[in-house]
């Protein structure tokens, strides 16, 4: 009986670990988003100097704790799955707080990694007809790692 358990336990453990790793990976935002330009912290700084608005899509208390200096808070209220095929109808994002001109550039960010708010807000803005969306995929972790100004 113990031999049977050992023969089953090893492969079963491998399957469980593999599925766990896949689930963890699946929760990270995609590496790219068609129709959207992914930017680095340095590129965000340059865009800000050129007058491009930067939008923090995190919840209000995260924004209040610390955010990119000069960023505006437009929270993406997320109830949908953290997945590429998320259902935006389950979520809430106030597009009226973005530039009225849909040809005007805008930068969107959140906490990166497992935070999907800026990815989802980029998708929603793109679907609404915005043409120059810059997704700061590295978000606050990248910004802070570069010791760039926060408030």
Model confidence at 136: pLDDT above 90: yes
Classify strands 133-136 and 106-109 as parallel, antiparallel or unpaired: parallel
The string over 122-136, giving b where at least 16 C-beta atoms fall within 10 Å of a residue's C-beta and e elsewhere, is bbbbbeeebebbbbb
Mind listing the pLDDT tens digit for each residue in 37-63?
999 999 999 999 999 999 999 999 999
Mind listing the pLDDT tens digit for each residue in 69-127?
999 999 999 999 999 999 999 999 999 999 999 999 999 999 998 899 999 999 999 99
Residue 142, C-beta contacts closer than 8 angstroms, at least 6 positions apart? 40, 41, 112, 136
Mind listing the pLDDT tens digit for each residue in 10-33?
454 444 434 343 344 447 899 999
Angle (CA) 113 125 42, round 5°? 50
The C-alpha atoms of residue 87 and residue 76 are separated, in whole angstroms, by 13
């Amino acid at each position: 009986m113990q031999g049977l358990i050992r023969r089953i336990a090893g492969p079963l453990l491998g399957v469980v670990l593999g599925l766990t790793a896949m689930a963890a990976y699946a929760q990270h935002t995609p590496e790219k988003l068609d129709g959207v330009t992914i930017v680095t912290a340095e590129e965000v700084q340059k865009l800000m100097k050129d007058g491009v608005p930067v939008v923090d899509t995190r919840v209000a208390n995260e924004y209040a704790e610390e955010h990119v200096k000069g960023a505006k808070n437009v929270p993406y209220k997320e109830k949908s799955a953290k997945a590429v095929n998320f259902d935006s109808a389950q979520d809430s994002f106030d597009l009226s707080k973005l530039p009225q001109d849909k040809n005007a550039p805008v930068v969107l960010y959140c906490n990166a990694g497992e935070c999907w708010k800026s990815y989802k807000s980029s998708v929603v803005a793109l679907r609404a007809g915005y043409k120059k969306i810059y997704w700061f995929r590295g978000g606050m972790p990248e910004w802070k790692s570069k010791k760039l100004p926060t408030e």
